Amino acid sequence: MSNGNPYSPISAKIESVIDETPTIKTFILTPSEQLHFDTGQFVEITVPGLGESPFTPSSSPMIKDRMDVTIMKAGKVTSRLHQMSEGSIVGVRGPFGKGYPLSEFKGKEVLVFGGGVGLAPLKSLLLTMFDRLNDFKRVILKYGARTPADIVYKGELKEWAKKIEVDLTVDRGDETWKGKVGLVTTLLENGHLDTENGVAVVCGPPVMMKFSTLKLLEIGYKPSSIYLSMEKNMSCGIGKCGHCRLGKYYVCKDGPVFTYEAIADIPEIWD
Amino acid sequence: MNKSYFLKNAGIKELIPSLARDFKLFAPERIEETYKWRRVLEDSPKTPDWSQYRTVEPLKTFFFPPRYTVATYSADTPQGKADLDALKEKQTVLFGTKACDLRSLKVLDHVFLEGEIEDPFYKARRENTILIASDCTEFTENCFCLALGINPFPEDNYDIKFSVLEEGLLLEAGSQRGESLLDRYRSHFTEATASQKEEAEKNRNTFIDNYRKKIAGENLPEKDSIKGYVEKNFKSGIWENYSEDCVECGACNLVCPTCHCFILQDYARSGGDFGRSLLWDSCQYKTFARVAGGANPRRRLAERIRNRFDKKFSFFPERIDSYACTGCGRCTEACLAGIDIREVLKELASA
């Protein structure tokens, strides 16, 4: 926030751009002021003169002078961002909302469960947990993408596999793919997971979130142990503009991370 | 109890120019059957009309205007600032606010001032505005505040309240700020007599008796029962039926004293600079909840109509123990499709 005005962005320079997939890029940003965020909190990024969109940084909050944001080309703002390159200036507001409740994960098995570009916020969570892996009983990443070309963080995934168990699948393989083929939920079958005391942290497209939650419940996870990133149309970021209401909550202020237990009674949460 | 003062009719003609000189003064002006807020200048020849009922525009227009710039920035340094000084230059006095609009402040203050981050623009305008409120002496055909437990007299959130008597105005402070304002113009007032207070009380009683009869004839649901309606009727066909009439103009949101949703809109200014406007939005518009990927939790109009009632009669009661409806009837008045909020509530009650 700049000068006590919650609607005003600060500037950030695009240091570099990484092509992740044909529709997803990671932007390495250096904000003009340090932004202290908790893993899982989100920011609003401004394309000057065009407008803002909400994104959750994918970098570790321990890195103070830099922020990575992985962005899928989906609408007006993201299309313009995809045309921007090294040296361009964008605006940043935030951070907003509540991050992942890491203290609640302490001593437990943490299943990090992602789909598509949904791995972006989870990457920040993973990097944060890597600094204190001993705090957790076990950390597992299960991730699915539509095709091998749609997998983000290909290089990092290999590195992470040296630290934690990484389990990947694609909906449709190709001639080079030697891994698993099947929907991401198939990774939950016979997964030797501690459904009794462990937690599952889920982020992905709405339909993936829905079926993943149902599957997690089916295999025994408690509604209070399933953490969901409910990304709605967050705009002001401070619970005033009304766009991201979900039942009695504003996703921007009370979320974006909710336990399934907290929102299970709200009708039509997956729409 | 606060001291009451009397301002005789002849004294009003002297007080108003003083107020208009010292403040940005607004008072309702009667235009045919309606009242609209109008700026009163020092040399305005006319004494304000003492409005019988609320204005066409909701009070929020003074604290949360339909469109205003919240930031300006340039392409190389998108770093705006809040330009609040202009909002603090001269205090605004609103002479003739009504109870329904005072009640709306409970909702608006919660949205814009409470929580971790307050809205500096709303705060500056709200703090810089003195509310002089008055009794309703008539109701419009669409008024139903009484059915929601709101009396048509100023009861909270005002700085000064007044009642119109035959010979002048009976005034009483409701805040420290109101007290100071009365002190400032003390020479215009006399201390109110018992008979003047009785006259005001009698007028109130006569009016509220009439109003009660009107409300009784409308068979509206009991106010405390409304809270569960939307949940109970979530899958009801009622919303679908209303969606056949609604034309998605958003007028109900725009005239509502408690509707507060807005969008931020960036635009190019001259000289390579950019601005960010805050402008009113409507949850009845299809794009309201849509996200960039195309997902839309309220794609269908019926869902959006339901959302409006859900927010007013479930969300706010849960958050602040108050409906976000003050019974002002403006949405009914504004609706191009003739949808009457009272009829919707009655249908929900009987479903």
The residue from B154, B186, B216 where one domain ends is B216
Same structural domain for residues B39 and B143? yes
The pLDDT tens digits of the residues spanning B78-130 come to 555 666 777 778 899 999 999 999 999 999 999 999 988 999 999 999 999 99
- What pLDDT, on a 0 to 100 scale, did the predictor assign at position B271? 80
Same structural domain for residues A17 and A81? yes
Q: What count of CB pairs under 8 Å joins A to B?
A: 146
How far apart, in whole angstroms, are the C-alpha atoms of residue B287 and residue A243? 10
Same structural domain for residues A50 and A150? no
Note whether B37 and B25 are within 8 A (CB).
no
Tally of domains in chain A: 2
Closest CA to B56 of B40, B38, B36: B36
Which of B79, B233, B319 is the best mutation test for A, with the most CBs of A within 10 A? B79
Closest partner residue to A5 among B120, B268, B296, by Cβ?
B120
Same structural domain for residues B265 and B162? no
Same structural domain for residues A139 and A184? yes
Distance linking the first and last C-alpha atoms of chain A: 31
A9, part of any domain: yes
- Residues of chain B in contact with residue A29, where contact means CB-CB under 8 angstroms, are none
Same structural domain for residues A115 and A209? yes
Which two three-digit tokens encode residue B263?
A: 């969008």
- Flag if A238 and B292 touch (Cβ within 8 Å): no
A158-161 CB contacts, 8 Å cutoff, 24+ apart: A160/A126, A160/A130
Same structural domain for residues B137 and B204? yes
Which of A32, A33, A243 is the best mutation test for B, with the most CBs of B within 10 A? A243
CA separation, residue B121 to residues A146, B73, B113, B116, B117 (Å): 46, 17, 10, 15, 12
DSSP class of residue A89?
E
Note whether B118 and B84 are within 8 A (CB).
no
Q: How far is CA A12 from the centre of its chain?
A: 21
Same structural domain for residues B154 and B243? no
How far apart, in whole angstroms, are the C-alpha atoms of residue A48 and residue B268? 8
Same structural domain for residues B255 and B345? yes
Closest partner residue to B297 among A6, A8, A271, by Cβ?
A271
Same structural domain for residues B15 and B82? yes
Closest partner residue to A6 among B117, B283, B307, by Cβ?
B117
Percent of chain B at pLDDT > 90 equals 83
Same structural domain for residues B184 and B332? no
Closest partner residue to A11 among B79, B281, B290, by Cβ?
B79
- What pLDDT, on a 0 to 100 scale, did the predictor assign at position B81? 60
Low-confidence spans in chain A with pLDDT less than 70: 1-3
The residue from B185, B200, B216 where one domain ends is B216
Closest partner residue to A10 among B79, B263, B289, by Cβ?
B79
The residue from A45, A64, A96 where one domain ends is A96
Same structural domain for residues A190 and A223? yes
Which two three-digit tokens encode residue A144?
A: 């699915």
Note whether A124 and A56 are within 8 A (CB).
yes
A147, part of any domain: yes
- Which residue is associated with the tokens 């525009």? B57
A140, part of any domain: yes
Same structural domain for residues A74 and A171? no
Closest partner residue to B115 among A49, A51, A239, by Cβ?
A239
- Which residue type sits at B259? C
The pLDDT tens digits of the residues spanning B139-182 come to 999 999 999 999 999 999 999 999 999 999 999 999 999 999 99
Same structural domain for residues A48 and A63? yes
Which range (B43-52, B65-74, B286-295) has the least confidence? B43-52
A141, part of any domain: yes
Domain that holds residue B300: 223-350
Same structural domain for residues B280 and B261? yes
Same structural domain for residues A132 and A203? yes
Domain that holds residue A123: 102-229
Same structural domain for residues B230 and B331? yes
Which of A10, A32, A93, A245 is the best mutation test for B, with the most CBs of B within 10 A? A245
- From A233's Cα to the closest Cα of chain B, the distance in A is 5
CATH, residue A91: 2.40.30.10
- Flag if B73 and A8 touch (Cβ within 8 Å): yes
The pLDDT tens digits of the residues spanning B289-330 come to 998 888 888 999 999 999 999 999 999 999 999 999 999 999
- What pLDDT, on a 0 to 100 scale, did the predictor assign at position A259? 97
Same structural domain for residues A24 and A111? no
Tally of domains in chain B: 2
- Flag if B292 and A77 touch (Cβ within 8 Å): yes
- From A173's Cα to the closest Cα of chain B, the distance in A is 24
- Flag if A51 and B265 touch (Cβ within 8 Å): yes
Same structural domain for residues B209 and B260? no
Same structural domain for residues A76 and A146? no
Same structural domain for residues A157 and A73? no
- Flag if A32 and B315 touch (Cβ within 8 Å): no
Alpha-carbon torsion angle A96, A97, A100, A103, nearest 10: 110
Is the Cα torsion angle A129, A135, A136, A137 positive or negative in sign? Answer: positive
Same structural domain for residues B39 and B63? yes
Q: Name the residue in chain A with its Cα closest to that of B117.
A: A238
Beta strands in chain B (DSSP E): 4-8, 24-31, 34-40, 67-74, 92-97, 129-134, 160-164, 168-173, 190-191, 262-268, 273-280
- Flag if B79 and A8 touch (Cβ within 8 Å): yes
- What pLDDT, on a 0 to 100 scale, did the predictor assign at position B16? 92
- Residues of chain A in contact with residue B277, where contact means CB-CB under 8 angstroms, are none
DSSP class of residue A179?
S
Closest partner residue to A268 among B77, B78, B297, by Cβ?
B297
The pLDDT tens digits of the residues spanning B282-298 come to 999 999 999 888 888 89
- Flag if B119 and A240 touch (Cβ within 8 Å): yes
The residue from A96, A111, A137 where one domain ends is A96
How far apart, in whole angstroms, are the C-alpha atoms of residue A219 and residue A185? 11
- Flag if A8 and B71 touch (Cβ within 8 Å): yes
Note whether B211 and B146 are within 8 A (CB).
yes
Closest CA to B335 of B305, B298, B307, B311: B305
- Flag if A4 and B267 touch (Cβ within 8 Å): no
- Residues of chain B in contact with residue A55, where contact means CB-CB under 8 angstroms, are none
- What pLDDT, on a 0 to 100 scale, did the predictor assign at position B293? 80
The residue from A64, A96, A128 where one domain ends is A96
Indicate whether this model's pTM tops 0.80.
Answer: yes
CA separation, residue B207 to residues A32, B217, B349 (Å): 61, 16, 28
Same structural domain for residues B289 and B151? no
A244, part of any domain: no
CATH, residue A223: 3.40.50.80
A264, part of any domain: no
- From B184's Cα to the closest Cα of chain A, the distance in A is 34
Same structural domain for residues A106 and A92? no
Which of A29, A96, A203, A236 is the best mutation test for B, with the most CBs of B within 10 A? A236
Note whether A239 and A232 are within 8 A (CB).
no
Closest partner residue to B78 among A11, A231, A241, by Cβ?
A11
- What pLDDT, on a 0 to 100 scale, did the predictor assign at position A69? 98
The residue from B186, B216, B246 where one domain ends is B216
